Structure formats: C-alpha cells, structure tokens
Amino acid sequence: YRLHRELRRTCAQYRVDLPPRMAQRIVDLEDIFTRPQIDSLTNLCGDLGKSKDIFVYIVTIDDYFPDTNITSFSNRNREWWGQRGSYDKGNVLIAVSTANREMRISTSDVSMKFLSDEKCTEINSVIISHFKDGKFFEGLVAGLNEIKKNL
C-alpha cells in the first residue's frame, strides 16, 4: 500500500488507479501495535465475524493520500478492502490515524442497518477515552467489545 501511494503521488504520469486489495483484519501502516497485539485484534475481529456475521477490520494510517481526510479515505477503502458479500451484516472499517489524531468507524450500506450513527458515536467515545491516554490497543479492544454488544 505504501509503495502504491508513493507511486501515485510522485509519478502522476503513470496510471496507477486502485490500491492493492487487503486480506488482513489488521492493517497497521503506522506500526503502532506489537505482533501479539495484532494477533489479539485479529482474533477479536475474526470472532465478531463468526458470531455476528460481520466483517470488521482495522487500518492505522498516517497519510490519507490521495484522499484529504479520514472520512474520504474510509469511505473509499471500506468496500475495496472489505469482504464483498461474504458477511450478512456487511463491512465495518475502523480507521485510526495517530499522526493526525483522528479515528472513524465507517459502516457499509448493509452494516449501517445494524450499527447506526448513534451507536458508532457511542463506540467512538469508548475508544477515544483510551486513546487520550495513548492506549490504542486497549481502546480498540474496548471498541470491538462494544460493537459485539451492539449487534
């Protein structure tokens, strides 16, 4: 992904359209998690998929290019990196940028029927309360548990 982003930024004359598809539940482009933390988050997201029939994945990102904000980045990549049609309750992307001090829960058209904006705002509050103390892993674990409770 990083290589694709830099090629697109620096070699505009070459046509590089779509970013590579991601198959992981955790895409830690900011390198904020340890391997055991990634494994733990992967397991939690996988458990949500099995028990609640929803594909939840997490991306940490330091630079939104070619997008200008976390909302555009999340909306553009949510379906492309998510699992199309594999889960009855759709895709949920949790995008985190510690560099920009932003996070967003982005729901697909299907998953927003199960996770409303109000519920996502509540989940954001739970996550952000941990993020303020620099506890990113703990915040995401708490957020994933809140998603599980709300489905």
Do residues 136 and 96 touch, judged by C-beta distance below 8 A?
A: yes
Please report the pLDDT score of residue 95 as a whole number. 95
Please report the pLDDT score of residue 8 as a whole number. 62
Interacting residues of 13 by C-beta distance below 8 A, sequence separation 6+: none
Do residues 4 and 11 touch, judged by C-beta distance below 8 A?
A: no
pLDDT band of residue 138 (cuts 50, 70, 90) is very high
Residue 22 has pLDDT above 60, yes or no: no
Interacting residues of 57 by C-beta distance below 8 A, sequence separation 6+: 22, 24, 25, 26, 27, 45, 81, 82, 91, 92, 93, 94
Tokens 């990549």 identify what position? 77
**Model confidence, pTM:** 0.83
